Structure 1
Amino acid sequence: MLLTLAMVALAAALAESNGFSVATTLFSLVALGAVSAHACVNVLNEVHDARSGLDDLTQRTPFSGGSGALQANPQALKAASRLGKALLALLITIGCYFIYLRGWSLLPLGIAGMVLVMAYTPMLTRRPWLCLIAPGLGFGPLMLTGSYFVLTGEYSWSVLAVSLIPFFLVNNLLLLNQFPDLTADVQVGRRNLLITYGPGIALRIFRWFLLAAYSVLAILVAVGILPPLALLGLLSLSLAIPLYYGIASLNEPQQVPHRLLGLNVAINISLPLLIAIGLALSS
């Protein structure tokens, strides 16, 4: 959930830096909607993977393989399914209010977000390229630009450009987390990028995406879309450089060390938060 809160914080910081005043109540409601979406897809994924037997096959890590809750308490499956549906209902309710508040131009983003929430595990994980980019689309162009629109009532090309940073980072978050689950994913019929093209291609794309996230930040500052203090985000290079070289030196790609998985998570949270802090200081 920290990743979601980082996205909403970045949206609010972008709004403030563009001259908008962000109301605390509206910010809180946007955060609730974003957290509901993230929690909903997590719960629905957990339920689906319990029913398919995937989480019975995974070797669980702190970052992948499911929580293990439904394997320890299989009688809770129906309750978990109801929780997922309740979160979906809450998400739809909040989304309808935002459409009432800001108008129908928010609807396309809302529909796209709902498709990602409901289709990711049962459908998109069987389509390699869609599986690769769906997480980044959800947290970047959809969540960041959607949150900004609700907070300001306007779409912004500059915010869409900034959303490329979490787009690349969150794609990498899910891509690297697929490595410990590789054997189990094959057994239940998933066809993600790692399965379809192999670890070598997947890790090469991971490195490209990591470089792309920081390149976008540097370019946006260079052309004046972001203020110089947004370069506070570069402090996270202290995490990204060890991750990049750690990935490049893997001898057994299917056995990604927990340390690298943890660095990947930390970068996803710290980079947008640092940019948000830089924007707040600039404002």
Structure 2
Amino acid sequence: MALELSATAEPPGWRAWLGPIRPAFLLLSICCVLLGAAVVHWTRGGVDWQRLGLVMAGALLAHAAVNAFNEWADFQNGLDARTTRTPFSGGSGTLPRHPQLAPYALSLAIAALLLCAAIGVYLLWQEGPALLPLGLSGLALVLSYSFWLVQRPWLCLIAPGLGVGPLMVVGTTLALGAPHSAAAWAASLPPFFLGNGLLLLNQFPDLEADRWAGRRNLPIVYGRRVAAGVYLLLLLAAFAALPLAVLAGWLPVPALLGLLSLPLAVFAGRRVWHAPDRIETLLPAMACNVALNLAMPLLLALGLWLS
């Protein structure tokens, strides 16, 4: 298939060379690292900005690696040829348009992962073994998501949230020299629940293609209606976790700024619940869902900075 496509493939431009890492998707990692930095600012009164830059680079490299591995895997197994892409699902479409870039995508994924690991080793040397469990978990997540986790419905559900929630938020606080704290873990819960919901909703349009490729995510195994219910529970959990953390004293009152993103959740949740099988109706909900995943951690981070 790749050889047949390459005969009519257009020459790749600069966008194609960046395509496998899905640059727009990397904004979520930036928001979550900034949230971790805000926790450190609130608990310790200051942030090492140079170290923060290094942590940000590591997080972006990890996210780029998992995206590139996913692009390569979906092209190799033929899934890309069966997927109807939307702005939020179905991959970037880079490799179907430029199949000659498939080896490059794999090399890019490996290089990004190795650079991320090198940054992790340096931070481990600087901060000690507290980072090791999170670092190893992050590497395992990047390597296994596209090749193993996508066949296990409940692990596939929570893997994205683990990546952008505890691994990024708590990992950032530890890399910046802060000890384990209830504040860090509490701040990581909204991105955890929302990140799971982000990938879950993005699986809705790809149900038939993913089933053909042998994947076993929640929409495939239980249907879109059940998956819609799980999505609503994830939204509820994200918006319940924040006030509960404030009531417990783990986060300050200004952290409740994160609740300003609630209208986005209401809009997305209503659309998903009332029309889980109508993809054209879900597209505005998917756009709103992306905005929610960016807005809530940023508003929560702003509240912590203001504290």
TM more than 0.5: yes
The residue that corresponds to 1:200 in the other structure is 225
Post-superposition Cα deviations, 1:183-217, rounded to whole Å, max 9, x if no partner, equal 00000100111111111111101001101100001
The residue that corresponds to 2:3 in the other structure is none
C-alpha separation in 2, matches of 1:50 and 1:239: 33
Match of 1:54 among 79, 91, 97: 79
- Equivalent residues in 2 for 1:102-251 (5 A)? 102-250=127-275
Indicate conservation of the 8 Å contact 1:36/1:90, yes or no. yes
Indicate conservation of the 8 Å contact 1:180/1:255, yes or no. no
In structure 1, what residue type is equivalent to 2:121? C
Match of 1:44 among 69, 74, 77: 69
Post-superposition Cα deviations, 1:201-254, rounded to whole Å, max 9, x if no partner, equal 111010011011000011112222211111111111121111121122116355
The residue that corresponds to 1:96 in the other structure is 121
User: What are structure 2's unaligned runs of at least 5 residues?
Assistant: 1-25
In structure 1, what residue type is equivalent to 2:28? L
> Alignment partner of 1:194: what SS?
helix
The residue that corresponds to 2:95 in the other structure is 70
> Alignment partner of 1:62: what SS?
coil
Return closer, same or farther for 1:24/1:95 CA change in 2, 3 Å cut-off.
same
Question: What stretches of structure 1 move > 3 A for 4+ residues in a row?
Answer: 253-256
C-alpha deviation, 1:109, in angstroms: 0.9
Indicate conservation of the 8 Å contact 2:152/2:217, yes or no. yes
C-alpha separation in 2, matches of 1:66 and 1:200: 23
Return closer, same or farther for 1:256/1:38 CA change in 2, 3 Å cut-off.
farther
C-alpha deviation, 1:141, in angstroms: 1.2
Of 96-105 and 255-264, more deviation after overlay is shown by 255-264
C-alpha deviation, 1:161, in angstroms: 2.2
> Alignment partner of 2:86: what SS?
coil
The residue that corresponds to 1:16 in the other structure is 41
C-alpha separation in 1, matches of 2:216 and 2:280: 19
Indicate conservation of the 8 Å contact 1:26/1:151, yes or no. yes
> Alignment partner of 1:67: what SS?
coil
Indicate conservation of the 8 Å contact 2:39/2:187, yes or no. no
The residue that corresponds to 1:79 in the other structure is 104
The residue that corresponds to 1:262 in the other structure is 287
Q: Please, what TM-score do these two structures have when normalized by structure 2? A: 0.89
C-alpha deviation, 1:255, in angstroms: 5.1
C-alpha deviation, 1:155, in angstroms: 1.2
Post-superposition Cα deviations, 1:106-145, rounded to whole Å, max 9, x if no partner, equal 1111111111000001100000110000111111111111
In structure 1, what residue type is equivalent to 2:90? G
Post-superposition Cα deviations, 1:60-112, rounded to whole Å, max 9, x if no partner, equal 00000010110000011111111111101101100100110111221111111
The residue that corresponds to 2:58 in the other structure is 33
Cα-Cα RMSD: 1.2
Indicate conservation of the 8 Å contact 2:40/2:178, yes or no. no
Identical positions, percent: 47
C-alpha deviation, 1:44, in angstroms: 0.7
C-alpha deviation, 1:154, in angstroms: 1.2
C-alpha separation in 2, matches of 1:103 and 1:20: 21
